[in-house]
Every structure is written in C-alpha cells, then in structure tokens.
Structure 1
Amino acid sequence: MPHDPVARLPEPPYYAVIFSSVRHEGDEGYAAMASRMVALAAQQPGYLGVESVRGDDRFGITVSYWQDEASIQAWREQAEHVIARELGKQKWYEVMATRVCKVERAYGFARQADGVLAPLR
C-alpha cells in the first residue's frame, strides 16, 4: 500500500514506535506481510501515520505514529500483528528492537511546486 515517505501528522504530543531490524536473506513471505501490516495498522484507532526504509544491507527502520499509549497497546495485541511479530522472530529477523517515544515537538517543511516552503503537516 503506497504512502507518503514523510508522514503528515497533527501537532504534538503524540507517540512514535520505532522498529529497527536486520532482515535475514530471502523474502519467505515478508513483503506480503509487511504490506498487510501497514494496511492493517492504518485501520486501527489512534493510528496517525508511518515512515519506513530498508537499505541494501538489510537494515531497516519503521516508525509508526500513534495518538496515545492505549492505541499502541491495542495495536500490539491485534491478532494478525501478534502473528506477524512471531513470524519475525522465527524467520525474518536477525536483530530487532522496538522503542516507544512521546513526541513533544515536531517541525519540518515541504517544498511546493512553486518553490515556496510550507510547514510540514
């Protein structure tokens, strides 16, 4: 499911879940599951957006943004997400770490077609 590379988010405060990982070689269903998780997360109450990258060295970072800690906990307990996390442990990741942060300040810009800088929202 395509999405903006930089998430458009509300004014803080909100929460970020930072998931860093190093993938094993090969796909083994990973791409399909990753796509499904992005689409499923977007349907969850409290979901605000996602940003994700993976390098040729198999290292990746996905940051998902959430309204509050209760939304994060509900996502963590979502049945398909539980299965995906378990598959990650069993066959997709050599290393993985999850960090949860409260975002208190955020700023940025987007260059418009006319070259004018507009606040990123």
Structure 2
Amino acid sequence: MPTHQSDLKSPCWAVIFTSVRTDADHGYAETAERMIELARSMPGFLGAESAREEIGITVSYWESPEAIEAWRNHPEHRAAQKRGREEWYASFTTRVCRVDRESRFP
C-alpha cells in the first residue's frame, strides 16, 4: 500500500498506527485490504504506507483533522476497530500529527 510521496501536499496530517498482533488471523488480511480500499474512497485521503515485522506500522496521510475524524468514525472502519481490539491486536497505539515538510533521497 505504498504512497507516492509526490502525492502529498504540505502541510498535511498523518495518522501513525503501530501494532503488535495476536496469533489470530480470522480474516485480518482481507479486512486490512478492505480498509485501505475504503480509506482511498474517503474525502481528504492522500495515501498510506505500511510495514510489518515484530510490530506493524501503517501511516495514512490526510488533508485535514476533519477528514481523519470522518475516517475514524466510518461505520465499517468502526467495526474493524472493534474486531482489532477483540481479536487481532495484543496492543496498538495511534498518533495523529501534522506534517509540515518532508525531504527525500534520491
């Protein structure tokens, strides 16, 4: 689910979701794919990046705090959050921050 950094506008907002998974799968991969598909359809969504090793990290980028709040409260996303707490995650942290600038190599 990589984002092309050129798609980002500064300033923008980032939601940083870090997690430790349980051993349960029960549809996790399908739900994760559905959530990125759904996020892409949301007004204000700019892109996302994700990686998983011992911990998982997904960073999604948004035009505004209001767009983030709409995503947070989307009914299908809320249902996935509930399953995450009950089945998929041993722990997680969500951080929201403003991105004022970026630099890249090359």
Per-residue CA deviations over 1:37-92 (Å, capped at 9, x if unaligned) read: 0000000000000000011x3x1000000000000000001010000000000000
The structure that has the greater radius of gyration is: 1
Q: Which runs of 4+ in 1 moved over 4 A?
A: none
Instruction: Give yes or no for contact 1:15–1:66 (8 Å, CA) kept in 2.
Output: yes
Q: CA RMSD in A?
A: 1.2
Give the distance between the partners of 2:24 and 2:8, measured in 1 at CA.
Answer: 37
Give the distance between the partners of 1:6 and 1:38, measured in 2 at CA.
Answer: 12
Partner of 2:99: 103
Instruction: Give yes or no for contact 2:16–2:95 (8 Å, CA) kept in 1.
Output: yes
Mapping for residues 72-111 of structure 1, pairs under 5 Å: 72-109=68-105
Partner of 1:7: 4
The gaps in structure 2 that reach 5 residues or longer are: none
Which residue identity lines up with residue 61 of structure 1 in the other structure? I
Identity of aligned residues (%): 47
| Alpha-carbon distance, 1:27 to partner | 1.3
Partner of 1:21: 19
The structure carrying a bigger helix percent of its residues is 2
Which residue identity lines up with residue 54 of structure 1 in the other structure? R
Tell me which of the two structures has the higher relative contact order, counting C-alpha pairs closer than 8 angstroms and 6 or more residues apart: 2
